[in-house]
Amino acid sequence: MPAPSSMHGKAALITGAAAGLGRATALTLARAGADVCLVDINAGALEKTAQECRDIGVHALAYATDLSSADNCRAAVTAALESCGRLDALCNIAAVFIPCHSAEMNDIQWEKTLAVNLSAPFYLIQAALPQLLANKGAVVNVTSCAAHMGQAYLAGYTASKAALTHLTKSLAMEYMHQGIRFNCVAPGGMMTELAQGFRNLRNPDPELLKRYSPLRGLVEIEHVAEMVAFLATDAAAGYHGAVINIDNGITAG
């Protein structure tokens, strides 16, 4: 958990903040004193998170947009800067998750998966770079244990998360000599709306699902949020190009 007031005087943009891990991360950063710009496609739930942050005592902007467009990503960063006056951390947490038989995945599903999970973090980083470089800020990209193992019925999702991992590491290399930091957090299964995507999967082979089911159970959302928020703070100065697995051992073997 970041120390209270460790983000005092700083501002963070958090995507996916309407629900699940994004919401928990927004609240954790707000408790650490950060002003927050919250971005999500779900306007109603996003405003609720923003109000929860304001109740903690920080400035919070709810910026509802669809991150599958590059222009919308750039506009979100502009809005964050206008509202908060600065940007010190970018937490890319929004994602889409469409379990399906690969032969049946349509173009829209495939393109949406890559647009939100991979392209949006890139466009947001690109737009935020001048501020993050000037402030020696931090980018935290949320990937998944799915970035490190093949998972049946999740070809698009696993490919997007593996690519996001390498995007993070490549940026860590490219900006090695500046103070900005790039890291990933790779969670295992958490009890959020996203995981309910499996409900729509028709006739899966249970043997294949078992291969990536957690033997130790799900990961607590709060524990992952604390790691994402920690990596956004100066206390994580030694972390650069890291991938932190929080998956209850799924990727252990």
Ligand X SMILES: NC(=O)c1ccc[n+]([C@@H]2O[C@H](COP(=O)([O-])OP(=O)(O)OC[C@H]3O[C@@H](n4cnc5c(N)ncnc54)[C@H](O)[C@@H]3O)[C@@H](O)[C@H]2O)c1
Residue (154 or 236) nearer to ligand X, CB: 154
Of 113, 111, 243, residue with least CA distance to 172: 243
Residue (96 or 163) nearer to ligand X, CB: 96
Stretch that binds ligand X, among 36-44, 48-56, 124-132, 201-209 (CB under 6 A): 36-44
Out of 12, 58, 67, 81, point to the residue binding ligand X (CB under 6 A).
Answer: 67
Q: Using the rule CB under 6 A, is 144 a contact of ligand X?
A: yes
First to last CA, the chain: 28
Q: Using the rule CB under 6 A, is 16 a contact of ligand X?
A: yes
Binding string, residues 37-66; x marks residues near ligand X by CB under 6 A: ---xxx-----------------------x
The minimum distance between CB 16 and ligand X, in angstroms, equals: 4
Residue (67 or 138) nearer to ligand X, CB: 67
Residue (28 or 144) nearer to ligand X, CB: 144
Crossing angle of the two packed helices 120-134 and 70-84, in degrees rounded to 10: 30
Residue (33 or 244) nearer to ligand X, CB: 244
Q: Using the rule CB under 6 A, is 18 a contact of ligand X?
A: yes
Q: Is 157 assigned a catalytic role? A: yes
- Sheet architecture: strand order including 89-92: 60-64, 35-40, 11-15, 89-92, 138-142, 181-187, 243-246
Q: Using the rule CB under 6 A, is 187 a contact of ligand X?
A: yes
The minimum distance between CB 253 and ligand X, in angstroms, equals: 18
Q: Using the rule CB under 6 A, is 195 a contact of ligand X?
A: yes
Cβ-proximal residues to 104 (8 Å cutoff; 6+ apart), any chain: none
Out of 58, 124, 125, 190, point to the residue binding ligand X (CB under 6 A).
Answer: 190
Out of 116, 127, 140, 171, point to the residue binding ligand X (CB under 6 A).
Answer: 116
Stretch that binds ligand X, among 29-37, 78-86, 172-180, 189-197 (CB under 6 A): 189-197
# chain residues binding ligand X, by CB under 6 A? 26
Contact residues for ligand X, defined by CB under 6 A: 16, 18-22, 40-42, 66-68, 93-96, 116, 142, 144, 187, 189-190, 192-195
- Which of the residues are catalytic? 157
